[in-house]
Amino acid sequence: MTTATQPLLSVRDMTKVYPARRRGSAPVRAVDGISFDVAPGETLGLVGESGCGKSTTGRTIVRLLEPSSGSITYDGHDISHLSQRELKPLRREIQMVFQDPHSSLNPRQTVARIISDPLLVQGSSAADARRRASELMELVGLIPEQIDRFPHEFSGGQAQRIGIARALATGPRLVIADEPVSALDVSVQAQIVNLMERLQRELGLAYLFIAHDLSVVKRVCDRVAVMYLGRIVEIGAKERVYTAPAHPYTRALLSAVPLPDPAAERARERITLLGDPPSPAAPPPGCTFHPRCPKAQDKCRSEAPVLRIAAPGEARQVACHFPEAA
């Protein structure tokens, strides 16, 4: 394991299957047996393209969804199948930040109400909750005097700060951030990234940072997991995964990201994958990446690779029959 201490969050063989909507259509295995840990105070980045199951993973961990199988352990307690009532104390501990700040804030509530709601639910008095909301506004870089304003009076970046303040209200130790900056203007994204990094340092938060933007994830995370069609295909320390990707998908993904540097763009070698990610309702047999993989062999078409240590002496794991030499 990468950490000596007990992990804060431990996910084992978790699957989430959505039943078939119509007769004759197949159930969708949105998350298909994934395992990972998040240590206290650590950031694990979860990257992948649309439909890879990264958001379903996040929502299952906060138990907005119930896993179909496998386990989710938080701070030593199995929370996989707790009832809504049993989950209530857990809601203090695990909070979520969403992509679109304006659609995840109630437009008819003031900022005071939005931020103090989680505290009221957890039993705080109205006066305490309001005082705490004001402190939180200051903590996330908002002006506490604006506490009685409504979300539409704030810009996108400020609204995301409100979303973060709400997530921090109950003093969580784990924050699931699902694409927290991708709806923001480019010039505002860095503000929110810096804010999240500062809050992590000051409050000792652990983040599960879900995003499709590999540059942002590289910036914020300690370790990174790459998902493809419901499975983790590579997971390990950021330095290893980004500088020496072992899975062909990770390599292709990294090489597809445009660099804001025309000279570097001209110099680099790009691996262009053909086709689109397949539907999770009809995953290809064997390794699900094989139809798009430049290295696919017969074995890949028939046998699904398991996630295993990529090279002796390193913690990074890869699910590939023919991983890149590290």
**For another protein, which residue of 17, 120, 193, 281 counts as binding (CB under 8 A)?**
193
**Residue in the structure block whose two tokens are 């590999």:** 214
Q: Is 216 an interacting residue with respect to another protein (CB under 8 A)?
A: yes
**For another protein, which residue of 223, 231, 292, 321 counts as binding (CB under 8 A)?**
292
Phi-psi category of residue 230: left, alpha or beta, with phi > 0 → left and psi -120 to 50 → alpha: left
Q: Pattern of binders to another protein over 112-151, x per CB under 8 A? A: ----------------------------------------
Indicate the residue among 137 and 216 with the shorter CB distance to another protein.
Answer: 216
Helix (H) or strand (E) holding 41: none
Q: Is 203 an interacting residue with respect to another protein (CB under 8 A)?
A: no
DSSP lists the bridge partners of residue 278 as none
- Smallest gap from Cβ 164 to another protein, in A, equals 15
Asked if 199 and 35 touch (Cβ cutoff 8 Å), the reply is no
Q: Which stretch binds another protein (CB under 8 A): 12-20, 94-102, 180-188, 229-237?
A: 180-188
Q: Which residue from 236, 93, 301 is spatially nearest to 226, judged by alpha carbons?
A: 236
Contacting residues for 180 by C-beta, under 8 A, at least 6 apart: 97, 98, 99, 160, 163, 164, 192, 196, 209, 211
Q: Is 257 an interacting residue with respect to another protein (CB under 8 A)?
A: yes
Q: Pattern of binders to another protein over 16-55, x per CB under 8 A? A: ---------------------------------xx-----
Token pair in block for residue 295: 């290295």
Token pair in block for residue 29: 């295995």
The type of residue at 116 is S
Binding site for another protein (CB under 8 A): 49-50, 155-158, 185-191, 193-194, 197, 212, 214-216, 218-219, 238, 242, 252-254, 256-266, 269-277, 291-294, 296
